[in-house]
Amino acid sequence: MAVKASEAMDIRLIDYESTSAAGVNLRALRQSLQTQSSGLRPNDVVGSSLNTWIGRVADVDQVDLGEWQSRNNALAALGLEQGSLKSTLQELIQRFSAARLGVLVGSSTSSIDRTEAAYTDLTEAGGLQPQYCQPRVHNPHAPALFVASYTGIEGPALTINTACSSSAKVFASGARWLEAGIVDAVLVGGVDTLCLSVLHGFDSLQLVSANPCKPFDQHRDGINLGEAAGFGILMRGEDSEADNGVRLSGYGESSDAYHMSHPHPEGLGARLSMQQALEMAGINPEDVGYINLHGTSSHANDLIEGKLIAAMFPSSTFCSSTKAWTGHTLGAAGITEGLIAVDALRTGLAPGCLNLDELDAQMSFTIEPGNRLIATNHVMSNSFGFGGNNCSLLFSRVSP
């Protein structure tokens, strides 16, 4: 059962940054959203001839990490170098000690890109080449291990892999760590990168489109895959000396376990996660001014989510999917889209649903291709993953 608003601790988001095909940092992302400039491009991943569009971050290719080398870790490092993240972390380490900070990273691929490379370049005896002898990299826990090493954080470190909800769930776990007094601040993040396993795995499920994706459109025909890294710093409100005026007011988590890759036909788990988030925040559906939808551009996912939104929220609630800017960034989608929602709360610019030409006739809710200026105290972000792993986040303005 969700925690009641009166029982929930004041958890603040004091700093955040986002790196994706739509922008290497928050400033660039804002520009892309404002100008409705997509980061998608025709597939140019080396070794893949798949006819599709992708969201690739070109700057990753320039990052050299030595013993930690992998595309996933390189993207995480690139993301951590943006904005004021590193300086904020250093201030917190000096204030509380490195052992009192924690790391939570969501990922669905970890560093499988590096493992792919290792197995295509084996020695004549069938062993790993020396440069690929990286036990900490060929490891599902690689993202959090690397981020802790890169930032100098010495407290608890956890990698969460619940498919596409992975980096939404880091906020919920981070809040619980703070509430339990395990840490005084927590770096939450998500990182996933493009590789052959990702592209051709999703293609084998017949989910990949040869066209730029069109979430919720009548003529949508599949997803575009992307890569991203996003990070945020959470603290208890009583300990935050300066912040963005944003708090994590509610979250909901569910696992309906209906099917390995298909959502529950009635969206039972997705409904439960949204209900829990609203209950924890102590607000009503009509209080939410913007929802960043999971909206993958697949037929079943969009239809089920769209019908749920129409049933649960008033028709005036403005919604959009932002995957036509970034691609579906899998384990990084939760934090990437959650931070876009946070930025809408702070700046008042809610992005539209890029490439939407004609809303699916089976849906009826407020979604449009153009951006909209909003004035609201609450925004929501949905992330619904394979296996029925669902997470909804609510962010709110801090009351004066």
Sign of CA dihedral 83, 86, 88, 89: positive
* pLDDT for res 400: 61
* pLDDT for res 122: 95
Q: Which residues neighbour 102 within 8 Å (Cβ) at sequence distance 6 or greater?
A: 153, 155, 156, 157, 158, 174, 177, 182, 183, 185, 186, 187
* pLDDT for res 84: 97
Beta bridge partners of 381: 292, 393
Spatial separation of the C-alpha atoms in residues 271 and 267, rounded to whole Å: 6
Q: How far is CA 395 from the centre of its chain?
A: 14
51-75: per-residue pLDDT in tens?
A: 999 999 999 999 999 999 999 999 9
Q: Which residue among the candidates 164, 195, 213, 353 is catalytic per the annotation? A: 164
Spatial separation of the C-alpha atoms in residues 250 and 366, rounded to whole Å: 23
* pLDDT for res 3: 54
Segment 307-317 shows an average pLDDT of: 96
**pLDDT-derived band at 6, boundaries 50, 70, 90:** very low
Concerning whether 294 is annotated as a catalytic residue, the answer is yes
Identify which of 245, 297, 247, 304 has the alpha carbon closest to the alpha carbon of residue 274: 304
Q: Are 105 and 147 in contact (CB under 8 A)?
A: yes
* pLDDT for res 51: 97
Residue 69, both tokens = 């080398």
Concerning whether 328 is annotated as a catalytic residue, the answer is yes
Beta bridge partners of 369: none
Write down the domain spans for the chain: 11-397
DSSP category for residue 42: E
95-128: per-residue pLDDT in tens?
A: 999 999 999 999 999 999 999 999 999 999 999 9
372: buried, middle or exposed (CB in 10 Å: 19+, 13-18, 0-12)?
middle
Give the HSE-up count for residue 58: Cα atoms under 13 Å, Cβ half-sphere: 7
**pLDDT-derived band at 241, boundaries 50, 70, 90:** confident
Quick one: CATH architecture of 11-397?
A: 3-Layer(aba) Sandwich (3.40)
Q: Which residue among the candidates 213, 264, 319, 328 is catalytic per the annotation? A: 328
Residue 233, both tokens = 């710093």
Spatial separation of the C-alpha atoms in residues 352 and 349, rounded to whole Å: 9
Q: Are 168 and 391 in contact (CB under 8 A)?
A: yes
* pLDDT for res 257: 81
Residue-level length of the chain: 400
Beta bridge partners of 12: 235, 247
34-44: per-residue pLDDT in tens?
A: 999 999 999 99
Give Rg (Cα) of the chain.
20
pLDDT at 251 > cutoff 80: yes
Q: Which residue among the candidates 138, 294, 378, 391 is catalytic per the annotation? A: 294
Segment 214-236 shows an average pLDDT of: 97
Spatial separation of the C-alpha atoms in residues 354 and 111, rounded to whole Å: 30
